[in-house]
Amino acid sequence: MNQDDVGRAVAALRSARRVVAFTGAGVSAESGLATFRGAGGLWEGHRVEEVATPEAFAADPLLVWRFYDQRRVHALAARPNPAHETLSAWQERFPSYMVVTQNVDGLHQGAGSRDVIELHGSLWRLRCTGCGRERDDRTAPLPALPPRCAACGAAERPGVVWFGEALPTEAVMAAKSAVERCDVLLVVGTSAVVYPAAALVELAAAAGATVIEVNPEASALAHLAGVALRGPAGRLLPQVAAGLAGG
C-alpha cells in the first residue's frame, strides 16, 4: 500500500453521495476480540462450529451459554478502535450512509454509528427458542442458566445467527438495497468468504459501485476492488479521513 492508493480512495469518496461500509471480524480484532476463524480459532478446545449451532444448543445448552457469556464479557471490555470511530464520523459527511456488519459485538454502535445493519445478529439480544420473541439484554456476565421467555416460558438463546441458520430477511433486504444503490462500497476487515453476506460485494460491483477494500491481505473478492488498501483499518481509514478533510 502506498499513498497513491489512499489518494484514489479519497478521490472516490470525495465524489460519492451514497456510501456503504461493509465490515467483518478484522475490525473487531483490532479491538482485541477473537475472530474464531483460521489458526488458533478455538474456544476451550472446541471449534466455533461446535458451539454455534442450534444442534449444539439443543445437545449442551450450558456449554453454548458459557461460550456466549465469555464473548459478552470480552465485548463489554473492548473499546471501539480508530476504524470504528472513522466509520462513525463519516455518517455526518455523506447524504446517504450505512454500516452493514457481520460483527455481533456492538462496537460500531459504541463508536456512535446509528444506521447499522447487523447481518449476523447481536450478542446483546436474546431470542426465545419457542415463540421467537427477541429482547435486548446487556447483562454481562450472564446468569448461570439460560433464562425463560416471559411470553411462553421456553428457554432463551443468544440472538445471533448460528451456522446453518438463515440471515434475518429484513436485514438482508435492507443491505442489498443499500449496496445496489451506493456509489462506493467500503469492504473493511472481512475475508469475504462467508456467504450470503459476501455476495453484497458482488452486488455492489455489478451495479457499478467503486469497491474499496481495506484489509491486511487480499480477500476472496479482492479482484472486484477498484482500490485496495493493505494494512490495519485502524491506521488506514484515519489516513483516508485526513485526506477527505484536507480536500
Nearest to 122 by CA among 83, 87, 157: 157
If DSSP codes are grouped into helix, strand and coil, which group holds residue 127?
strand
CA 100/CA 20 separation, integer angstroms:
7
Nearest to 100 by CA among 173, 11, 12: 173
* Residue at 180: amino acid letter: E
Phi-psi region of 53 (alpha: psi -120 to 50; beta: other; left: phi over 0): beta
**Is 120 known to be catalytic?**
yes
Which residues have CB under 8 Å from 223's CB, separation 6+? none
Residue in 46, 74, 120, 223 annotated catalytic: 120
Question: Which residues belong to the active site?
Answer: 120
